[in-house]
Structure 1
Amino acid sequence: MNRWLRSYALVLLIPIVMMLVVYFQTKQVIEDEINRANTALLSQLQQDIDGHIDYTYRLSEMIAFNPKIRQLMRTPENLEAEDRITMVQALTDFKVYNNTNRYVDHFYVYFRTGGFVLTETSYYDTPMYYDLMLSSSGLALEEWKRFLEQKYRGQFFNMQEVEGQAAAGILFAQSLPIDERNTPLATLVIELNEERLLSAIQNIQSYNQGKVYIVDGSNQILASSEKKKQGPRSFDQLNGDLGVVHSRWDNENVVISYIQSNRTNWKYVYVLPSRLYSEKAEYVRNLTLLTLFIALLIGTVLAVLLARRNYYPLRQLVRALAERSKLDPHSALNEYDYIEEAIENTMDRNNEMNQMLEKQKNVLRSSLFVRLLKGRIQHDFPVQQVMSEYKVAFRSEDFTVLLFYLEDFSGFFRQDETDAEKKREFVRLIVSNIVEELTCQQHQGWMVEIDEMLACIVNFKSGTGPEDAKQDLVRIAEEAQRFIGTRFHIYFTAAVSTLHRSVAELPAAYQEALEAMEYKMLLGTQTIIFYDQIKNQGMSYVYPMEKEQQLINYVKAGEFDQAKGVLDEVIHFNLSEVNLSIEMVRCLMFDMISTMMKAAIEVNLGQSELYEENMKAIQDLMNGVTVSAMKDRMTVFLRKVCGHVESKKKSHNFRLKEDILDFINDQYRDHNLSVNTISERFGIHPSYLSRYFKEQVGDTLTDYLNKLRVEKSKLLLLNDEIFIKDICDLVGFYSISTFIRLFKKYEGVTPSSYRESSKY
């Protein structure tokens, strides 16, 4: 229930905050409106007084350029009749000037040379004007004359500061003539009408009960509506042409609004106590507080009532859940957490059950597919009906089996992950999901695990022809190899069966894929093998005795390059020219391994080393290692044997061997050439020669000599004009029978048969 109360309190807080925001905004608006009104009044005052100041400037110019005044400025101290007539004419002009503006109260011109004062009404000498006009102000005559004799260029002054009067007013002083740069000849003084000037100021004062000031450019007060000066007044903070600043005067906070004249550098200032702002906003504040109090009271009562009303169903729901659930209601922070925990607990149990059912369903479906692939389904078994229970519906009667053998996935896992079964299961899941997704783009596909491999049963959509089906299978297999290999570093070999026309033929399709997969030994790993490629295979290989003997001879002689050439030639011919079955390929590999073992035994390679290499080669063949890998292994073994033979040859006098071989090659035609004749020729014992020759060459000296004579006879047999008996004599044999027997021993055929076969 506390949560309900907090929720309602939060809802109630929103209008309260909004009302406070409205109050402060309203207060700000009131202050802005007051400041805007004050600024408008000051602007009006500024425009009004600026107009009169403009008139003051024009009046000073009219007097300064009046020809009578300019003439009087140059009169001597003693006035003559003509000067007095000029003076009367000037007074007439003054009367006209003074009637045009009501703000000019009085003006006069002090003539320094004549020592007299000319006003708008009369003529006075200097002492007389002082006695009549200024003696009561407390200003001394000499001080007044000193003020008049200074040089001015249209300046305004406060009358209280200049004349010492108690009344407020503004003086305007201008030295004459205006264009004179030397000592002035006269001084014009214009007194602005104090009452009329202050009447405009009092209009603003009466509007808001504030005080109005006129301040010059040096922040000195020229005029003020303040009757009694209370304390120092500072206007230094008034910067700019227009603005509002806050200050403190006479222990009271004030708001100062000001505007600067466009005609002069005067500022018109209006000072209003800050409390007047508060008085205008106090009503809004009181109304806001009253509204807040009422809203809090009503909101609190409604919050309690509604919380109790809404909490009752929640309490009943918690009690019902507590009766049916094993969870303790007091274990949760609140009722909602308890309900959420109870629902999550129920959902978790439900998800576990669904996952278990789904897993069991997948296992049963996979088991059914495996039985289909292995042909363990009875003919009367309702395949379609059972498959529909697993949400499997065949689109057509066209099926193909794709078989995947995982070659390498070590690059997908970290080195510290050692659970092999878990890694393999994860890899199978990745491959299955991706292959099924690629297959289902156009057709249907279901992945199952069978015989340590993954099989995909592809069901083509209706109307798919054999060529289109094969193209789609190529696309699926290639895209799977590319994406899975690039993205996950998982590499596999794929085998594809032919297209079959019913579910009953799935076992045949699976067998075809198995047979095609066996050919990864021949075609290499990480390839795509189609059953069409291997279904017509040859059942015999070509490995003639001649090539076998050549391989043995080269090995015994330690000639690795020639021996490897024979090995490559036999393998290349059988794999490219003869389309062998995989069984025949294994037989060929076994045969060639046995040949190399014979050669190794004849050169006396260690028996333990032979046995180890033989067992490795046989194990590789049984495990389905590729032909390329077997060829590399045999090449390594061949290099080892040839290297052993070569090292034995180099253990004795290599030059002696070369000399003996050269001698035999030159004298092989001699019928008497034998071990004894050769040993006599080189001065060594016959038994040592036989042992030395066998060790260096790999054959006995007699075998080597007979093989050389047979090789030379093969060249002569190509010429039909030479008789076989003559060839026997030419190559050094004693008799024709010996020649035929040895030729058949080394070449497998008689000399005459060899001659006949060479013609074709």
Structure 2
Amino acid sequence: MPKYSRVFRRFLISYIIILIIPSIAGYMSYKTAITVTESVSIENSVTQLQKSKELLERRMAEVEGFTRQLAINQDLNILMNENGSGDASNVYGIWKMMRNVLTFGQTNDFLKHYYVYLSNYNVLLTPGSAYFRPEHYYESYYYEDMPFEKWKSTVLEGTHRSEMMPLSPFMDNKNETSVVTYMQSLPLDSFTGSSPAVVVVIIDQQKMTDLLSGITDRYGGWVHISDADGHTVGLQGTDEAHVGLLSADSSFDGEKLSQFYEDDLVITIRSDSTNWIYRAGIPRHVLMGSANQIKYITWSVTGVALFIGVAAGLLLSYRNSAPIIRIVGVMKEQFGQEGQSERNEYDFLHGNISQMLTNNRRLESELHRQAPLVRDAFFKRLLAGEFQTRDEIIAAAVQANAGLTGDTGYVGIMQVNGYPLMDNVEVLNELNAARLILKQALIDTGSSVRMTDIGSDKIVFLFTYMDEPTAVEIGKDEVTMTLERISRLAFEEYRISTTVALGGMFQAVTEVSQSFEQAKQTLDVAVHQNRKELSWFEDTRQESSTYHYPLELELRLIGTVRAGEQEEATRILHTIISQNTVHRELSYEMKQQLAGEMKGTFLKLLDQKVFIESESFEEMKNRIIAIQPAEPLEAIQVELAAVMNVLCEVVHSRKNDSHTRTVEQIKTYIESAYTDSALTLYRVAEQVERPEKYISQLFKEVTGVNLSDYLENVRMEQAAELLHNEVLTVDEIASRVGYNSSHSFRRAFKRVRGVSPSVFRQSALDG
């Protein structure tokens, strides 16, 4: 069983329930069809027996009609009324009557064997013969269980009124058979004593049961006919013993039209005219032949459908449960809950996803709460020059939602005057209120301005514009007017005196920290000179005895070179030289000191492993050492820029080598694990110990192909090799190259190769 078989079982049970519902409906339809078929079969059998009964009764009615015709026959009446004693026999009359009797038996099979007994002549007339002694007749035609005397007294000399003698064994001219005897005394009004004549019709059992052969021949059953006293009149397909057991069984209802007894359907019909009981037994399996055929077809189709349904359910259950099982596995690996396998997987997912959503909402709320602090921290880092590259600044600005609108602008500082070296609570509260007023005033101007605090009495603000000359010039005038208006308004309404200083224009966001440093220098000069108006950096040229090379600027230069950002490093180097040549007038000694500091910076850079291991290390070291501090700063800038370019190229080369090794490691892992259908970007990242987004972008950058496309191409290459022979089926190949679904494999193969796997295999084999 799989590790998470409960998920699989839940899906499978759902599909089985879906199968059971139509199966129940089909079963009910099947039972209805069987019941209807059984009812129709019974009804047809009853109808068949009813028709056979009616046919037999018509034949018996014809027999009775035959006796009535004899009763009105003039010749017979003459013979019956003559005195037959003595020698005066009416031989002609007897002969004529014998001829008349012969014609009656030509219209009814039951009249093949009959005779008329004239008691006055003691003669027995049959079709074609006359027996003047009945014993002569009885020598050839007699009842096996009845002696002649009994026959004579019972049959010939008795009085009969449409009387039937039960089925009896009979010898018909040395042919043993069973017969039913119909007897009628003539004239018809003879009720007591001896009658002048008796008509006897001997009906062969076979003649009677032939009329019921529709049941016995069709169903292979049995038929039994009994008179009102229960004596057997007709019997076929069974024996008296079986009929006797049937009648004696208390569980058998003799009045019921149809009922199942043992393995037979027994149909019972009573004749209204003769009170005979017609009973037929039809084997159940014959009667239910159509129903059995329906049953066989139904069960066969149902069995095949259920088998296919269960197989489809197994496949779909596996396909639908596999992603959930993988998700549960990943979540348990991540959350460290492998030991909770007995827990319901859906509850596990629900609980953990709910927890993740709750944590996400809590984190989102916390991020919203921390957003101002994040933006403030971003501006402080930007002002401090902690970012090495422009891309890093842009990414951090987007992450902090800082909203930088351009690469060009100014950095300024607004200081609240009148609170130097005062740090009690009341003063801090006043300064806090003053800063809030000034910030709100800056916001109300509608300008694109970002602000943060430095110290308790200073606000740093940042104006940014699109990198266009006209926009910059207009922006400077706008900044001047805005800040002067805010300063005037703050003093007039709140008696807040301010000093405002702005640095030089920065032309890239990486120069914001430089503009900030210039603003600080300008503020120092403005405070020192007690200036009340707005001060710009370019308006405060300093004749300084010291050079400008702050530690943070040196660290930024080192960081950008280490990162291989040649353009940014060149801009920082240019800024350093510009600050000390354009905005300062350095003495000869200070210029030499600055040149030595910058040589030291580059020698510090060379003390990195990445540069020590490079082939150009000694050359770059000697080149830096060879720089003479006495040379002009512009010449030193050119030489250092050349060294810096070489160092950045070394960094780029090392980065490319590292990236190439990482990509090769990814390729090696994919080629060994492509058969695993659960191979994901997360697993690849885990293998190479790098973040998922990093390896995805890195792989695309180095190879020009998406990682997912590369994995698919590897799988298709392996599949193409396997398709060159007929050992494996397409489904087996799909499984071997990492696809759970053969349909997904076929679709991917056609997308990559342009043809389906089967067409590719055929063309490969034909080629």
TM-score normalised by length of structure 1: 0.38
TM-score normalised by length of structure 2: 0.38
